Structure 1
């Protein structure tokens, strides 16, 4: 087996571990890609970064850098994705200006509510060293 064959073999194994979008979602994504390429780009970037939790805490500035877009473009794309039920936005602080978790709505289950009114979910956190003063000091 050549190195190329071995890399391909490992890539297939890794791909099998990832939950795939169902055919209906892929067709919807194809439409989104044609109708709103910016929103599709933001969705695919989120999907690539969310990990197994299917929820991501990320600033708009960091997401804009990842997508090579402006913050207003990302804000508009997020609105489109929410309106079309691709993602949900969960405020995880005391106000809307607080941190936000973006979730892939078809993959996150919020049945974890307990009697105290709290909801539990796991999220990946993505922080840019450029945008975070505390990380710049330690880097």
Structure 2
């Protein structure tokens, strides 16, 4: 069996689905269907009856491609709480936060994937750099509604 540490989970062992390879730099390993492996790990964690530990919490968050800051905003807590949970510095993950993270994972990666578009939008926002210049919002009233657009501020 191969002790797989690439997921960030310290207790994953592969019975098969991998190959040990040799290179000029030493021995390496090739995992077959890495995405499938991570999906199986996520599904197992979401379905497990026990409380999530920090490693499991971090695994699910990173599989959802969410930063600590974005997840903190979604959960209504601060980024340091997420960091403490993931590092095991708090006794255990906040129960409502854990339930919501499990549900986010379940709804975005499993079943009918209802929340996948929301998470894609959050991921896109995280990877979008801030505007180079401050933005000015220009609003104008029309006959039946308002419209708004942003413009770069000219200094």
TM range (shorter): under 0.3
Higher helix share: 1
Higher strand share: 2
Larger Rg: 2
Give the TM-score normalised by the residue count of structure 2.
0.26
Structure with greater contact order relative to length (CA < 8 Å, sep ≥ 6): 1
